[in-house]
Homo-oligomer: A and B are copies of this chain.
Amino acid sequence: MPSAHEQFRELAWKCGLAATHQRQVIYEAVVAMPGHYSPENVFAEVRRRTPSISLATVYKNLRLFVEHGLLREVSPHASTLLVEGNLEPHHHLVCTRCKAVQDIEGDFINYKKLSRQAPRGFDLTQPLIEVFGLCRRCSAKK
């Protein structure tokens, strides 16, 4: 089993990215821990090993890692608030790259299973479901 260190060097190499010390510690920090982290979270963690690191570097590399699929972005969201007036039950198909949103019907969801799997007390009376993928235009550009 390769060390986390070697594992990252290999991944970086595949992506054509330089394997800097900063990238190493950022990657290891996020991958080592389960859960969902903000740039500030990561910065705080990584700083303990590498006090000279900057927040800007954390931002730049998190974005880069997400783009290259080394990390996953939670709730890929438009940079702005969006509202809609359509209150009829329906769901959304969202492009993770261009953030375009289109409506989609919900018959692909088994609501019974869903509520069985949700933790006790989680209110799913009117669940809103968003499915993320790549729209045609963005997946063509690749």
Binding site for B on A (CB under 8 A): 30-40, 42, 59, 62, 65-66, 69, 71-78, 80-87, 92-94, 96, 101-102, 104-105, 107-111, 113-114, 117-136, 138-140
Contacts and interface: CB of A to CB of B under 8 A. Distances in A.
A27 to B, nearest CB: 8
Contacts of A122: 93, 133-136, 139
A22 to B, nearest CB: 16
Report copies per complex.
2
16 contacts: A30-B85, A39-B80, A72-B87, A73-B83, A75-B101, A75-B130, A76-B128, A104-B117, A104-B118, A107-B110, A107-B113, A108-B113, A118-B133, A121-B139, A127-B131, A129-B131
State the majority secondary structure of interface residues on A.
mixed
B37 A82 contact: yes
Given A129-B130, A132-B128, A83 B37 contact: yes
Nearest to A30: B85
Contacts of A74: 78, 82-84, 92, 101
Given A71-B83, A72-B87, A105 B132 contact: no
